[in-house]
Structure 1
Amino acid sequence: MRAKAGVFDFPSRRPAERLGVAVVSELVELIITGEIPEGELLPPEGPLSEHFGVSRTVLRESVKRLEEKGLVVVAQGRGTQVARSGSWNMLDPVVLSALIDNDESLGVLDELTIVRGNLESAMAGAVATRRTAEELTRIEHALEAMRETQHESDSFRQADVVFHLTIMELSRNRLAENITKRLYRRALESSRYHGMGYEGAFRSTLDEHALVVDAISRRDVEAAERAMRDHIVTSWQRRRLEAPHQEAEL
């Protein structure tokens, strides 16, 4: 463990729920970073309670939260074992944030981009299949809002987000929309996801969005899917920062 008993000096009047949130957050990070590896047992209740400065009741509730997130498996008589990463609920906000925040290699963001690209591609294709004239107008207005703010970074970024959320909503695929929103919004909170700026960023982004709108207007499902996937993947590749170990090798 990174800290010794007594380091966590929380006020005695702090509600147990707040203590539990702190414990869960710390344990999630220890598991995500591999400081407590997959397959390893968590320390017994006594040492863990002392380490975090909380009661055993708070600790048990915290471990229960970890179990709900798929991070641990509680086995009677064996203890609490860290689950394999394939069992983790990576759409859980706490787990996903920890994965992204500790993603020094950018591997998680690479995977997120692939998943997001495939889901949004399918949703763009669905919109192209059955969009109405009114829905096409909404999409065109979202693109126009991007054009009008292309010289204002923050406003342009927000208009970009609105464009993608509009496509998601109009797809009528609630499951894909829900999953993609969770991934997208958490990624947007990471400076690593925004990456580095590059020359012609506004122009290339507008051109790629325009291809999506054009395909949807023509009801060309395959073109809409391809345009959306290509945009999401290539835009990430253009702004992707080199990971620290890669920079050291140059």
Structure 2
Amino acid sequence: MTKRSTPPSPARPRHLPVATTSSRSLYGHVVHELGQRIIGGDIKPGELLPREELLAEELEVSRTALREGMKVLVAKGLVESRPKVGTRVRDTRAWHQLDADVLAWRCALMPTEDFVRKLADMREVIEPAAAATAAKYRTYEQLRQIEEAFAAMEAAANLDAWADADLAFHEAVLNATNNELMVSLFTVIESAMATFFVLSARTAKNFKDALPLHGEVLDAIRRSDPDAARGAMLAMVEESRANMRRGSAERG
């Protein structure tokens, strides 16, 4: 089997993500503040934002900075501006849900059960196929990276270390597909995946309960067995989903 070269690995956050727009700039402050309020539900879909002069005063920015920030929020699908009407929050269906900032704001808040379910559904679509593809096309160097991430999971002494190693494992599997489209997709949804892994580990009886299934995925990729890799990854996603359901029932 011909192995292809390893694509560049996307940067991985060490902790749960923050929004990508720079808060050092005045317009970035506008984007971050209003974006969080909208995603958090403090300003609801259909609501009009305060008049420009009042909002600029509240956020302690110039009208120019406010207008620049509004352009970014419009581009993210969060608001729309109409002459003689004002700026209104759009329906959630219009939000660019895979925008890095929008995902980060959603993940920074306590995720709702509905959002967590959707994350699980997204994993079920993407990850089993990625594991199968990795089993077909991984290089020896990429296999070594998966093995190193698995070893870090084995050695993890606390939840934070586990979550970092878990994310590294799944990232390494995605890289091993040698499919730049899949790798690019992972960089987009990475913040949501990091949140999901932490939540799943917290709701498990022991955060290392998922280690054997990760080992099965690794072994299948090592043996270049796509069907086994797909099945093991699907079982892993289902176990995470069960953890979430149990945690929700216990909180209820």
* Normalised-by-shorter TM-score class: 0.7 to 0.9
Query: Is 2:141 the partner of 1:173?
Result: no
Listed as ranges, the matches of 1:85-234 within 5 Å are 85-103=92-110, 105-133=112-140, 135-147=142-154, 149=155, 151=157, 154-188=160-194, 193=199, 196=202, 198-202=204-208, 204-234=209-239
Query: Is 2:242 the partner of 1:237?
Result: yes
- Aligned partners of 1:195 and 1:51: how far apart in 2? 40
Moved more, 24-33 or 72-81: 72-81
Q: Which amino acid aligns with 1:175?
A: L
SS at match of 2:66: helix
Max radius of gyration: which structure?
Answer: 1
Deviation of 1:91 after TM superposition, in Å, equals 2.7
Does the CA contact (< 8 Å) of 1:127 and 1:171 recur in 2?
yes
Deviation of 1:193 after TM superposition, in Å, equals 2.3
Q: Which amino acid aligns with 1:168?
A: L
- In structure 1, what is the equivalent of residue 69 of structure 2? 62
- Aligned partners of 2:204 and 2:78: how far apart in 1? 38
Q: Please, which runs of 5 or more residues in structure 2 have no aligned partner?
A: 1-22
Does the CA contact (< 8 Å) of 2:119 and 2:196 recur in 1?
no
Check 1:41–1:215 CA distance in 2 against 1; reply closer, same or farther (3 A cut): same
Does the CA contact (< 8 Å) of 2:200 and 2:243 recur in 1?
no
CA RMSD of aligned residues (A): 3.2
Q: Normalising by the residue count of structure 2, what TM-score does the alignment of the two structures yield?
A: 0.74
SS at match of 2:87: strand
SS at match of 1:95: helix
Q: Please, which runs of 5 or more residues in structure 1 have no aligned partner?
A: 1-15
- Aligned partners of 1:43 and 1:85: how far apart in 2? 20
Check 1:49–1:156 CA distance in 2 against 1; reply closer, same or farther (3 A cut): closer
Q: Percent identity?
A: 33
Q: Normalising by the residue count of structure 1, what TM-score does the alignment of the two structures yield?
A: 0.75
Deviation of 1:27 after TM superposition, in Å, equals 1.1
Query: Is 2:52 the partner of 1:45?
Result: yes
Deviation of 1:150 after TM superposition, in Å, equals 5.0
Moved more, 121-130 or 76-85: 76-85
